[in-house]
Structure 1
Amino acid sequence: MSAWQIDPRRLRAMVVKEGVQILRDPSTILIALGLPVLLMFLFGYAINLDNSRTRIGVALQDDSAAAMSLASAYRHSPYFEVVLERTTAPLRAQLVAGEIRGIVVIPQDFGKGAARGHRPPIQIIADGSQPNAANFTTAYARGVVQTWAAQEAQAAGQRAPPPIELSLRFWYNPSLASRYFLVPGAIAIVITMIGTLLTSLVIAREWERGTMEAMMATPMRMSEFLASKIVPYFLLALASMALCTVLATMVFQVPLRGSLFALFALTVAYLMPALGQGLFISAATKNQFVASQVALLSGFLPTFLLSGFLFEIASMPKWIQAITYIVPARYFIPALQTIFLAGDIWSLILPAIGYLLAFGAIFFLLCFRASRRSLDK
């Protein structure tokens, strides 16, 4: 009979046996159900990429009404929390200590220059060690000055061309909240950890316990053995996905605009390479410690760094961009974000499912061959 054929009775017995082992192992349940909650709260609350209420210093070196008015404009800005000083020395110390992100210097004789119709120079100092925060600080600090200057000119009766009004509309994420893309990405991290890390231990555990040869001496086929290892962790990963979806929508208020069917289909497709990769690592290493380390390096890190989750792939070097094409999460995360934020756009979801299933087939084939090779030695 073919090595790929499966006897339902033997498979059911092996799945039950594997399920009992999982229930007897508290660490597996903790990783499958506790880790998702921890990671979701970390990515939902601890990691915040929204730039709002940035703490800056304003050095008010002039006592004129114009200088006071400009300082007040900064204090009432919704983007800044202002520390007001008369000199730059204490503010520079706070900038070095990381207590503020920038300094706006309103120089002496600012009011006299403004009264003559000149544009007195205003210095903006930003902490360049954090480029994103520095760009945000300088852009909005410049915007406050420009808005204030236009209001002052209008109050003085100066005729100026009417400003062009911009009507801004942000699709899919109207408030530009970072959790809208962080939380779906966190779900991908969770599924990767469960699918790859946990399954990377199952075959290696059999080798370390000395039960692998005994199991293969039975009539059980290799396909039945691998399937019995996959099914329990597949169901466990689906339960984790359901838990993460509930947390995302109920706790973090991330909209789920797509259907549960699309979410389920995409998750099933992604679990194929995740589970297959974990089993291949387990069969190739035959050691639980080594398998766990390889799973973290080859599963978690590429998902976190090379999937476009936090770092834009287009901004990476070309040779790094080429590597991202062999990272399954590169296809999973954009499709998952599409389902959550845009809906069932099948022209984007179906190609991702196709790529993921292809990766899964490759990993399962490698796992089958690695397991047979290990037994032949």
Structure 2
Amino acid sequence: MKLRYRLENIYRLGIKELFSLRQDVVLLALIVWAFSFAIYTAATGLSHDLHNASIAVVDQDRSQLSTRLRDAFEPPYFKKPVLINYSQIDPMMDSGQYTFVMVIPTDFEADVIAGRNPDVQLNIDATAMMQAGIGESYINNIFSQEIRTWVGGKTQAAGETAQSPVDLVLRYAFNPNAESSWFTSVMEIINNVTMLSIILAGAALIREREHGTIEHLLVMPLAPFEIMMAKVWSNGLIILAAAALSLVLVVELMLKVPIAGSETLFLAGTVLYLFFATALGIFLATLAQSMPQFGLLFILVVLPMRLLSGGYTPTESQPPLMQWIMAFVPSTHYVKFAQSILYRGAGLEIVWPEFAMVAGIGGLFFAFAAFRFRKSIAVMRT
């Protein structure tokens, strides 16, 4: 009977939280933006692919091969190459007109035919760091392919056979066209689940304190655990629903990103993770006295979590000490099983260790946050 009474209290307090959030237009707008337009713009606006890179060519050879190389740079990867003089390289790169300037030397075609391995100079504006790194690889591949094809045609015309000692066959798994939007859109949902669940849970407690309604709850026959649990399930439910809708409507319908695995399994893992994330928001709210203080604590905690959880760079690339620390942060395991499920179609038999880590570490922190919350409530009552 007592358990049923406590569950009813948690349910009714959670409904109160939902009604309170309904009145907070700013937070509602933030949720809608974070799980719709923010994901779409991040996937389509911030591209890790090469698009319309500006390139100029100093063609000192003016041969059939050099012309063929110029014509190989085509949209949408590159803009149409512009022929310039050697003296124009520095002024035009200084002004930022071209990211790449290629210099094809005199007698380039003759040297290739003679097997003298001529050098081609490629000037890169590395201030556009991402485009410069990707573009260099693209240009190298285009050069290799065009010269190999051209030389192969010449040798075959002369009655010889062009045989490469190594035939490298590439196969892109899970993302055949290497579309960056497939990665970015899903990762935005994963990151926004962390950020918004912390913000909503923390803001709910601070809103109670600023509006004075926390005192009303303290004079009622309610346990601190019931107050905290109500905030956890209500705000977690909103984030779960927003993530599910975003995954279906934005990622699959609008961006046409195929989801390899079970969305239900991903959402089940998200439920486990939300216990940690919402508890973290409540814990930070017990340390802060106002929303500005909460915002500062949020930045100090969430940014390292977001950068080091494996969503941007693999955890294997981090220093050993950092890997050891992040192994005890549930967000690392959340990112890992979310990527395994949504990208690679992993089932529960593969991701259950990550589920267990999220549940175990998250449960311990949830208990710690509940202790801290009960302690802060006790101070308010006195």
Tell me the TM-score normalised to structure 1 length: 0.88
Contact 1:49 1:178 in 2 (8 A): yes
CA 1:237–1:64 in structure 2 vs 1: closer, same or farther (change >3 Å)? closer
Cα distance change on mapping 1:38 and 1:323 into 2, 3 Å: farther
Are the counterparts in 2 of residues 280 and 364 from structure 1 also a CA contact under 8 Å? no
Q: Relative to 1, partners in 2 of residues 1:176 and 1:211: Cα closer, same or farther, differing over 3 Å?
A: same
The equivalent of 2:273 in structure 1 is 270
Instruction: Report the equivalent of 1:84.
Output: 82
Offset at residue 132 of structure 1 (A): 4.6
Q: Which residue of 1 aligns with 2:124?
A: 126
Structure 1 letter corresponding to 2:50:
N
Structure-to-structure mapping, 1:96-111, within 5 angstroms = 96-111=94-109
Judge conservation of contact 1:208–1:286 (CA < 8 Å) in 2: no
Cα pair 1:15 1:229 within 8 Å, conserved = yes
Query: Offset at 1:5?
Result: 8.6
Query: Structure 2 CA distance, aligned partners of 1:148 and 1:256?
Result: 36
1:44 and 2:46 correspond: no
Flag structure 1 segments of 5+ consecutive residues without an equivalent.
Answer: none
- 1:205–1:59 CA distance, 2 compared to 1 (3 A): same
Aligned to 1:143: 141
- Does the aligned pair in 1 maintain the 2:263–2:342 contact within 8 Å? no
Asked whether the equivalents of residues 234 and 275 of structure 1 are also in contact (C-alpha less than 8 Å), the reply is yes
Pairing of 1:144-293 with structure 2 (within 5 A): 144-157=142-155, 158=158, 159-163=160-164, 164-246=166-248, 247-293=250-296
In the alignment, the residues of structure 2 paired with residue 75 and residue 206 of structure 1 have an alpha-carbon distance, to the nearest angstrom, of 60
Which of the numbers 335, 342, 349 marks the counterpart of 2:337?
Answer: 335
Structure 2 Cα separation of the partners of residues 365 and 128 of structure 1? 49
Provide Cα deviations, 1:33-53, integer angstroms capped at 9, x if missing partner: 232112211221111111355
Secondary structure class of the residue paired with 2:260: coil
Q: 2:325 corresponds to which residue?
A: 323
Contact map agreement 1:302 1:327 (CA 8 A) in 2: no
Q: Which amino acid aligns with 1:308?
A: G
The 2-side partners of 1:260 and 1:147 are apart by 41
Quick one: which amino acid aligns to residue 291 of structure 1? F
Q: 1:355 to 1:117 in 2, by over 3 A?
A: closer
Shift of 1:153: 2.9
The Cα shift of 1:254 comes to 1.5
Alpha-carbon offset, residue 248 of structure 1:
0.9
Name the SS for the 2:98 alignment partner.
coil
55-64 vs 113-122, greater mean Cα deviation:
113-122
User: CA–CA distance in 1 between the matches of 2:237 and 2:93?
Assistant: 51
* 8 Å CA contact 2:113, 2:151 repeated in 1: no
Tell me the CA shift for residue 213 of structure 1: 3.7
Rounded Cα–Cα distance in structure 1 between residues aligned with 2:8 and 2:148:
80
Kindly indicate whether the alpha-carbon contact (under 8 Å) linking 2:329 and 2:361 is maintained by their aligned counterparts in 1.
no
How far the C-alpha of 1:130 sits from its partner, in A, is 4.6
Deviations 1:68-119 (A, max 9, x none): 33333x3458743343224133343333333432221012343554565544
What is the aligned partner in structure 1 of residue 300 from structure 2? 297
Residues 48 and 178, structure 1, Cα contact 8 Å, conserved in 2 = yes
1:207 is paired with a residue of what secondary structure? helix
Tell me how far apart the structure 1 counterparts of residues 314 and 95 of structure 2 sit (CA, whole Å): 30
How many residues are treated as equivalent by the alignment? 374
CA distance in 2, matches of 1:21, 1:202: 8
Query: How far apart are residue 276 of structure 1 and its match?
Result: 0.8
Evaluate the alpha carbon distance shift between residue 23 and residue 134 of structure 1 in structure 2; reply closer, same or farther with a 3 A threshold: closer
Distance 1:316 1:76 in 2: 37
Q: How far apart in 1 are the matches of 2:33 and 2:141? A: 45
Change (3 A) 1:6 1:305: farther
- Is the 8 Å Cα contact of residues 308 and 326 (structure 2) preserved in structure 1? yes
What is the CA RMSD across the aligned residues, in angstroms? 2.7
Where 1:50 maps in the other structure, the secondary structure is: coil
**SS of 1:59 mapped into structure 2:** strand
Quick one: percent identity of the two aligned structures? 23
CA distance in 1: counterparts of 2:16 and 2:133, whole angstroms: 57
Partner amino acid, structure 2, of 1:343: G
Residue 176 of structure 1: how far off its partner (Å): 1.1
Q: Which amino acid aligns with 2:221?
A: P
